[in-house]
Amino acid sequence: MRARVLALALFSIGFAGCGGGNPEIGLVISEDNTWPCLGAAHMKIQVNSDAGMSEFHEFGQFFDTHTHKCAIGQYRFSGLPLGSGIQVAVSMHDSTADPEGHLASGSSQTIDVKENTPYHELPVPLTRTTAALGSVVIYRPADWDAVSGINRLNYHIMPDGEIIPVRSGSFTYAPELRSDPFPLIVSALELPAEMTQYQVVVEARQVDVLVRTWTGEIFLSTGYNPAFLEL
């Protein structure tokens, strides 16, 4: 579990000059029995108010690999505008930029932020989308630092001996913000009843030029999930 205080330079644009005691919201994320965080590596937080919308992105591993439960902790937002209509929406994603990587979502109730109530605890219940639970955690390749200029990372996951991937696409990767994006997590993989071998391919590109390919093998089943891959 971890707590993260977002002191919110981003809020200052929309909320500057609102005055009044600097009230805070403590975001408390809960989960149901659908394993909403399993495979989650990217959390989007939207704070909606009468002053507009601000969005924040957090990257990491947001689930416990043993229990599969959420491992998020509490986030605090300060400098909020006084008045009505504050609502927070949270969505969980794997490391991919694909629609299939949207794993879970939830929204808080709408509350009023009052000057004489300096702290508000705001529950956000998460529930999983229709995304399957199968997940693979891909760790940093040993020669990652030897390859420069990477600005795109693609992936392909195929059952062993087959050429048609069960998932294929690109990772969310902004090298100017996070030069080392690992571990990368792909979720929403259907879990076979029996242990099944898969080939995993990660491609590093400079625009459209392929500069490096890493490959590995994983095993997945309903009783063995998530899988872990050292490239």
Q: What is the CATH number of the domain that holds 51?
A: 2.60.40.10
Q: Are residues 106 and 209 in the same domain?
A: no
Which domain covers residue 101, as residue numbers? 4-128
CATH number at residue 194: 2.60.40
C-alpha gyration radius of the chain: 20
- Most confident of the ranges 3-12, 114-123, 199-208: 199-208
Question: Model confidence at 84, in pLDDT bands (50, 70, 90)?
Answer: low
Q: Residues 185, 205: contact at Cβ < 8 Å?
A: no
Token representation of residue 91: 């969505």
Say if residue 154 is in the same domain as residue 191.
yes
* 98 and 184 fall within a common domain: no
Chosen domain end from 76, 100, 128: 128
Q: pTM score, two decimals?
A: 0.86
**Cis peptide upstream of residue 23 (ω within 30 degrees of 0):** no
Residues 116 and 138 in one domain: no
Q: How many CB atoms lie within 10 A of CB 31?
A: 22
**Residue pLDDT, tens place only, 169-193:** 999 988 888 889 999 999 999 999 9
Shared-domain flag, residues 58 and 141? no
Nearest one of 66, 101, 106 to 87, comparing CA atoms: 106
Question: Looking at 128, 155, 175, which one is the last position of a domain?
Answer: 128
Specify which of 44-58, 65-79, 88-102 reaches the highest per-range mean pLDDT.
Answer: 88-102
Domain identity same for 147 and 118: no
Residues 119 and 15 in one domain: yes
- Average pLDDT score over the chain: 86
Whether 188 contacts 132, CB under 8 Å:
yes
pLDDT tens-digit map of 198-215 = 999 999 999 889 999 999
pLDDT at 140: 95
Q: Tell me, what's the pLDDT at 144?
A: 93
AA identity, residue 134: G
| The domain boundary residue, chosen from 128, 152, 172 | 128
Question: With 90 as the cut, is the pLDDT of residue 15 above it?
Answer: no
As a whole number of angstroms, the distance between CA 43 and CA 178 comes to 15
Say if residue 91 is in the same domain as residue 201: no
What is the tally of structural domains in the chain?
A: 2
Task: Give the pLDDT band of residue 52 (cuts 50, 70, 90).
Answer: confident
Same domain, 100 and 199: no
